[in-house]
Amino acid sequence: MAKFYFYYSTMNAGKSTTLLQSSYNYTERGMNPLVLTPQLDDRFGEGKVASRIGLKAEATTFVPTDNLFERIGESHQQQTVHCVLVDEAQFLTRQQVRQLSDVVDDLDIPVLAYGLRTDFQGNLFEGSQNLLAWADSLTEIKTICHCGRKATMVLRLGEDGKPVRDGAQVKIGGNETYMSVCRRHFKEGIATRQTNELPFKD
């Protein structure tokens, strides 16, 4: 029986690296994984998934109006799809999360979704909220704050490098725009190590 998996984290925890490793594992065994990525995330070029450590792969893009059950079904008819891997899954709509659950239940194809849990204001993304509700398996991919604690939140940085609290929920960016921090430093708005944090404190 196929299952619906959601792997969530903050920025720079290795979500794309884990996805690309999963894709490689399927391909190495002669299977056909279908990698999906939102069209709006074109940091590495449209239709590409890339990790910070240099791994990359071609991907099929989607937009919020796409019916993913229909699109995956069409691909499955052309060539058997053994697994669906979704990058930046926080950008899925509620309807698309439901459609992916139909892929699992009706087509018996496992779906592995990778995405952020919360935005720079500490709110759930629409996709993440519904993945947390609908997925069979929830796994946190961990990373650390500059203080050494587990990072669970994301700060958005302005051009001056200081945290910003207002703005649109979606703004595509990398290390120059976002910083993963623990809850304490998220609340305090501290994006870099302070001298009084040495050595690490529990």
Would you please indicate which residues are annotated as catalytic (active-site) residues? 88
Q: State the Cα–Cα distance between residues 82 and 63, nearest whole angstrom.
A: 22
Residue 42: both structure tokens together: 């074109």
| Beta bridge partners of residue 36, listed in sequence order | 60, 86
Report residue 12 CA to chain centroid gap.
Answer: 10
Q: Please, are residues 86 and 62 in contact by the beta-carbon 8 Å criterion?
A: no
Q: Please, are residues 31 and 25 in contact by the beta-carbon 8 Å criterion?
A: no
Q: How many Cβ atoms are within 10 Å of 127's Cβ, its own excluded?
A: 25
Q: How many Cβ atoms are within 10 Å of 175's Cβ, its own excluded?
A: 11
Beta strands 83-86 and 153-157, pairing class: unpaired
